[in-house]
């Protein structure tokens, strides 16, 4: 049995921003310090990983359920960071996430388990991101990649920065 009545044993939720879709990470003058810091983390992620095959996950949680009672035996982590895909944009290959325990209902949990689950968040995110890719329109992804390859070939192998 993989699901309980209230949901999955591992529930991963995230907002996803393809880094290739962002033109500027400049914070508006009236931006909150929290938003400005988030935009800076996104800018650093794109500088570190490039824009192709790089996705920024934010507003994200990973919840582990250890009993069939949602009020008992739950650990929820918040996370933010980058998922990198293969060259065809069809498979998640790695992630670089900032992960922290947000809340839990496990009176029996200890620090070693908290740390192990934080490491498990990365694996759960990769599995869920692959499901996210599969649920999307793969035909559009393939067409986009073919179009970019043609543009690159037409331009002598160079299409421009951050494309």
Could you read off the pLDDT of 67-85 as tens digits, one per residue? 988 789 999 999 999 999 9
Distance of alpha carbon 135 from alpha carbon 150, whole angstroms: 26
**Six-digit token string for 69:** 């009672």
Distance of alpha carbon 98 from alpha carbon 118, whole angstroms: 9
- This prediction's pTM: 0.78
pLDDT of 163 over the 50 cut: no
pLDDT of 148 over the 50 cut: yes
Better-scored residue on pLDDT, 49 or 146: 49
């Amino acid at each position: 049995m993989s699901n309980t009545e209230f949901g999955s044993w591992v529930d991963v939720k995230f907002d996803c921003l393809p880094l290739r879709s962002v033109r500027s990470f400049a914070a508006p003058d009236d931006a909150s310090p929290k938003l400005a810091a988030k935009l800076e983390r996104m800018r650093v992620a794109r500088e570190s990983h490039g824009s192709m095959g790089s996705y920024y996950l934010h507003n994200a949680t990973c919840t582990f359920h250890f009993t069939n009672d949602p009020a008992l035996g739950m650990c929820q982590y918040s996370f933010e960071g980058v998922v990198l895909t293969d060259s065809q944009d069809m498979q998640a290959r790695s992630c670089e996430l900032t992960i922290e325990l947000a809340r839990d209902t496990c009176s029996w949990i200890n620090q070693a388990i908290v740390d192990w689950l934080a490491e498990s968040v990365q694996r759960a995110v990769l599995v869920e991101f692959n499901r996210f890719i599969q649920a999307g329109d793969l035909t559009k992804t393939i067409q986009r990649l073919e179009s970019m390859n043609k543009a690159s070939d037409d331009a002598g192998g160079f299409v421009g920065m951050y494309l």
